[in-house]
Structure 1
Amino acid sequence: MKNLLYSFVLGGLALSMTSCLKDDDHFTDFQSVGAVAEIPSAAFYGIADNQGLLIQTAPTSYSFDVNIASPAPLTQDITVTLALDKAALDAYNAANTTSYQLLPTTLYQISSLTTTVKAGSRLAPINLTFYSGADKVPDPIGYNDAAYALPLKITTASNNVAVSSNYGTKIIFLKIKNDYAGDYRSVGTFNHPTAGTRAINRDKTLATIDASTVQTEYADLGATALMWLKVNADNTVTLTPKGTASTATVQFGENKYDPTTHAYTLNYKYAGAGGDRVINEVIKLK
């Protein structure tokens, strides 16, 4: 569908250049304009491409196109070569106050950084493979911040085809996700020994930590009180307090994950002035 869209838009643009504009005595002859090699997804959507990968043994195939922009498809093959471009990533980090690092070579493979746009065509693919198995993913990877990125840039094109200065670069940002990450709804109660019981009814985001662990808000105590929820082999859940959450947290009763309903049932408490703060909540995938 994406290739069809590119071809339709580019074909329509070329037709308008070579027909309608010629009706005007003051038209610009776009047929004399040279060809330019570009990455059309960068032109359509920007150079940043966010990709979510599950932690899984099977590799993930990924591809994007290069395009030869010209008034009409060229009559000769065009060889387009790309390269890893750390300078582009450095510039992105500086412009956006981020600190992405180059994706480790163990996490991807590129079949070739050279592709050929055949005569009469406009598009040709660059094919990649990403690896996100638990045995390959660095620990910690900084999953939630997509700490790694793969910047690629067109460096040359044959037969005097120019390289686009605006749309010749693509940066692929990778976010690793496990099977439990996503947007959830938490419903339950927070029982305070002196202030009474209040209802918990709020959205929560569960973010990947490793293959079986997610991070989310602890009870309803705000952004700095966090907990890690690890789903064990028997679907019981181990809760680990993080951030400003109480390190004295104790689980009691039922703590489990239901793979059918995608819901965590949690019962935990921690001691404080006047007695225990007791939390009961069900966190269910929306």
Structure 2
Amino acid sequence: MKKLLYSLVLGGLAMSMTSCLKDDEHFTNFQGVGAVAEIPSSAFYGIEYNQGLPIQTAPTNYSFDVNIASPNPPTQDVTVTLSIDQATLDAYNTANETSYKLLPATLYQVSSLTATVKAGSRLAPINLSFFSGTDKVPDPTAYNEAEYALPIKITSASNNVAVSSNYGIKIIVLKIKNQYDGDYRSVGTFNHPTAGTRTINKDKTLSTVNSTTVQTEYADLGETALMWLRVNPDNTVTLTPKGTANAATVQFGVNKYDPATHAFTLNYKYAGAGGDRVINEVITLK
């Protein structure tokens, strides 16, 4: 699904660039714009990505794409080279006031840190495996407390393709899955002051952030609007907006987790033109 989204957006970008009028002073001809190597998931969903790992012997496989952004697909193969880069992690920690530590080499495997984007296409995958069995991780709590991350950086690309200064990196934050991690169903309402009330009825994935917190989609506003749900000792829930979700979100009613039904009851709102947007939803484990 994400790859399809990338392709549709990139295709639309290419069409919009190449369809500009060349002989009109009010339009810009983008056909001479150079190509840039980037990590599209960093552009769409943010540089930091949380990956929850089950306690199992088999490795957890994960992949992401590199992309060649340009008005037209490359006419020659482009080799994109990446690295696991401590300096990138240090800079990210400083900029974001985080304290992630480099994931030990014994806890992951990368099939290759080069990707070849074939002529006529834009995307190529990077494949990784993460280890989280008890043979590698005897103490999941200590693993999570260490706050491990894998910083990946595009270092170069062939055929005069530049490297993106904004989206050439990805920080994969690794956690052993907590008890709230899983696939859920969300039902509820989104009350808009001028557009009326719409129903929320959709699947959501809750992914581990730490031992008490999961991340999921904020209301029904799409994959870039996120929220962190922290379950407190008394099973009340603290909601923190992330991504493109409104930063001024406040609790509006009861926010709680029911361990018997494995359900989050959430009531929250944020201000906008015409009045408050009020969201009520119950997110229940499937």
Following superposition, the deviation at residue 140 of structure 1 comes to 6.0
Q: Deviations over 1:177-226 (max 9, x none)?
A: 26x4559xxxxxxxxxxxxxxxxxxxxx9938xxxxxxx876x599xxxx
Residue 94 of structure 1, CA deviation: 1.5
How many residues are aligned here?
199
Shift of the alpha carbon at 1:26? 3.3
1:38 corresponds in structure 2 to 38
Give distance in 2, aligned partners of 1:89 and 1:141: 22
| 1:144 Cα offset (Å) | 4.6
Change (3 A) 1:177 1:158: same
1:285 aligns with one of 262, 266, 277: 262
1:87 alignment partner in structure 2: 87
% identical equivalent positions:
74
The residue identity in structure 2 corresponding to 1:68 is: I
Alignment CA distance shift 1:32-1:221 (3 Å)? closer
Match of 2:148 in 1: 148
Contact conserved, 1:49 with 1:173, CA < 8 A, in 2? yes
Check the 8 A contact 1:182/1:207 in 2, yes or no: no
Aligned pairs for 1:5-154 (under 5 A) are 5-22=5-22, 24-137=24-137, 139=139, 142-145=142-145, 147-154=147-154
Q: Distance in 2 between matches of 1:8 and 1:168?
A: 21
Distance 2:260 2:146 in 1: 25
Query: For the residues of structure 1 that align with 2:50 and 2:173, how far apart are their CA atoms?
Result: 5
Structure 1 stretches lacking a partner, 5+ long: 184-204, 209-215, 223-281
**In the alignment, residue 172 of structure 2 is paired with which amino acid?**
I
When residues 163 and 182 of structure 1 are mapped into structure 2, their CA distance, relative to the original with a 3 A threshold, is closer
Taking the aligned partners of 2:52 and 2:164, their CA distance within structure 1 comes to 28
Deviation at 1:88, TM superposition (A): 1.4
Using the TM superposition, give the Cα deviation of residue 4 of structure 1 relative to its aligned residue in structure 2, in angstroms. Answer: 1.2
For residues 133-187 of structure 1, the C-alpha deviation after alignment (integer angstroms, 9 at most, x for no partner) is: 0110163654555610000000010011000011100000011126x4559xxxx
| TM-score, normalising length: structure 1 | 0.63
- What are the residue-to-residue correspondences of 1:147-226 with 2, within 5 Å? 147-177=147-177, 180-181=179-180, 207=211, 220=234
Question: One-letter code of the match for 2:75?
Answer: T
Q: Aligned Cα RMSD in Å? A: 2.9
- Runs (5+) with no aligned partner, structure 2: 183-207, 213-230, 237-258, 264-286
TM-score scaled to structure 2, two decimals? 0.63
Q: Which amino acid aligns with 2:28?
A: T
Deviations 1:78-115 (A, max 9, x none): 00000011111111212232221100111110000001
Q: Is the 8 A contact 1:146 1:174 kept in 2?
A: no
Q: CA deviation at 1:58?
A: 1.3
Post-superposition CA distance 1:20-44 (Å, at most 9, x none): 4447333222110110000001111
Distance 1:141 1:221, change over 3 A: closer
Distance 1:182 1:83, change over 3 A: closer
